[in-house]
Homo-oligomer: A and B are copies of this chain.
């Protein structure tokens, strides 16, 4: 077998096996033999089990991270003094994210639910941390302008909720169109909460 045929086949069989059993219980033997190869071959193409998992997952993951970062670059330009939440104003963003998620359905499920034991097992925490850092800056700006203050725990929890919202969606709705419609009110709700609970009155 030449070119990248074997490598691709390995990745493809790995995706299936990881999806079925999760990182820990996935068997390299099975992956290899499904691909018509031996375990040794896996170690020719990849450093180890984690390396193989990475090959399945890396591209989609870094794409996702970039998507989130790009969004924040834009959001950071907004003026908190004049921003007023209008229902539906974040729909395009929600749609973008949902679309990305469903374009990479298998892999995102892998990362969210099946990565336990792998070097990616804390990927969600990483995402949350990144978001939180950005949100925290945003919140401070907003609090300053409005003379209110930031509830840091609520901020952290809401960030968590937000990420969970997408993970939850992926797990419960396979149809992309329906997913988009379902997530919209959730995002709206979240922004309301953001404005009302993350930014709280000083006397509370």
The minimal Cβ–Cβ distance linking A180 to chain B, given in whole angstroms, is 12
Contacts of A116 in B (CB 8 A): 116
Is the Cβ of A151 less than 8 Å from the Cβ of B193?
A: no
Among B117, B151, B185, the residue within 8 A (CB) of A154 is B185
Most buried by B among A156, A168, A196, A200: A168
Contact with B along A83-122 (1 / 0, CB 8 A): 0000000000000000000000000000000001100000
* Residue picked from A24, A161, A168, most chain B C-beta under 10 Å: A161
Contact B154–A186 (Cβ < 8 Å): yes
Instruction: Determine how close the nearest CB of chain B comes to the CB of A186; give it in whole angstroms.
Output: 6
Distance, CA A196 to CA B185, complexed state (A): 11
> When the two chains form their complex, are residues B157 and A165 in contact, meaning their CB atoms are under 8 A apart?
yes
A20 within 8 A of B: no
Q: A70 in the interface, Cβ–Cβ < 8 Å? A: no
Number of this chain's copies in the complex: 4
- Distance of A185 Cα from B24 Cα, bound (Å): 38
Shortest Cβ distance from A204 into B: residue: B185
Q: Which of A139-192 contact B (CB under 8 A)?
A: 151, 153-154, 156-157, 160-161, 164-165, 168, 172, 182, 185-186, 188-189, 192
Name A164's closest neighbour in chain B (CB-CB).
B164
Q: Are B189 and A154 neighbours in the complex by a CB distance under 8 Å?
A: yes
- Contacts of A196 on B, CB cut-off 8 Å? 189, 192
Q: Which A residues form the contact surface with B (CB < 8 A)?
A: 24-25, 116-117, 151, 153-154, 156-157, 160-161, 164-165, 168, 172, 182, 185-186, 188-189, 192-193, 196-197, 200, 204
17 contacting pairs across A/B (C-beta < 8 A): A24-B24, A25-B117, A151-B185, A153-B182, A154-B185, A156-B172, A157-B165, A160-B168, A161-B164, A164-B164, A185-B200, A185-B204, A188-B197, A189-B193, A189-B196, A192-B196, A193-B193
